[in-house]
């Protein structure tokens, strides 16, 4: 038998409570109990009482606090946050690593980095599905395989 959901049993958290944005795009929990949320303006960690924002605007190679599409655990400690590129956050050390699908013409590179889905395997490989293709990065974050759906000419024509 289905249960009725009573809205009085929920707590609504907003930016006034410390959340980086009111629109949450993904929620997950780590092995120690923290709740992680991606929003339209960054990643937040919640301990049940307080939010910690994991944004960094000062380093162009680090995770930017823009519209984040979602998150997935790559392993016990690495949280992959995806948007325009893949940003890996080591929840133990706080270190970040960005993975960008390279493209010869930098002005069209953004078309190859709109990440829609991410998977990993036990060997540490990372597999990206983007708007423009499928990409495999090895455990050292080196591009091992790429499939571009669009040709070079069609990429330039899809502005």
Q: What is the pLDDT along the chain (159 residues), one digit of tens a residue?
A: 667 777 788 889 999 999 999 999 999 999 899 999 999 888 999 999 999 998 655 444 445 556 788 899 999 999 999 888 899 999 999 888 989 898 888 887 877 888 989 999 999 999 999 988 999 999 999 999 999 887 766 666 655
Residue the block writes with tokens 């289905």: 2
β-bridge pairing 126-130 and 115-120: antiparallel
Query: Quick one: residue 109, left, alpha or beta (phi over 0 = left, psi -120 to 50 = alpha)?
Result: alpha
pLDDT at 111: 78
Structural domains of the chain, with CATH: 11-99 (2.40.10), 100-159 (no CATH)
pLDDT value at position 151? 73
3-state secondary structure of 154: helix
Query: pLDDT value at position 62?
Result: 47
């Amino acid at each position: 038998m289905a249960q009725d959901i009573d809205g009085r049993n929920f707590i609504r958290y907003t930016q006034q409570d410390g959340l980086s944005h009111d629109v949450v795009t993904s929620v997950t929990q780590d092995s120690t109990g923290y709740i992680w949320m991606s929003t339209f303006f960054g990643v937040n960690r919640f301990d049940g009482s307080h939010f910690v924002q994991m944004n960094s605007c000062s380093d162009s190679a680090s995770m930017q606090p823009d519209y984040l599409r979602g998150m997935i655990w790559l392993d016990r400690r690495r949280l992959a946050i995806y948007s325009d590129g893949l940003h890996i956050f080591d929840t133990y050390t706080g270190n970040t690593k960005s993975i960008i699908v390279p493209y010869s013409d930098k002005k069209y590179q953004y078309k190859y980095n709109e990440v829609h889905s991410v998977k990993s395997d036990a060997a540490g490989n990372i597999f990206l599905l983007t708007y423009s293709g499928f990409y495999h990065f090895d455990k050292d974050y080196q591009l091992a395989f790429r499939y571009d759906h669009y040709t070079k000419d069609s990429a330039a024509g899809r502005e």
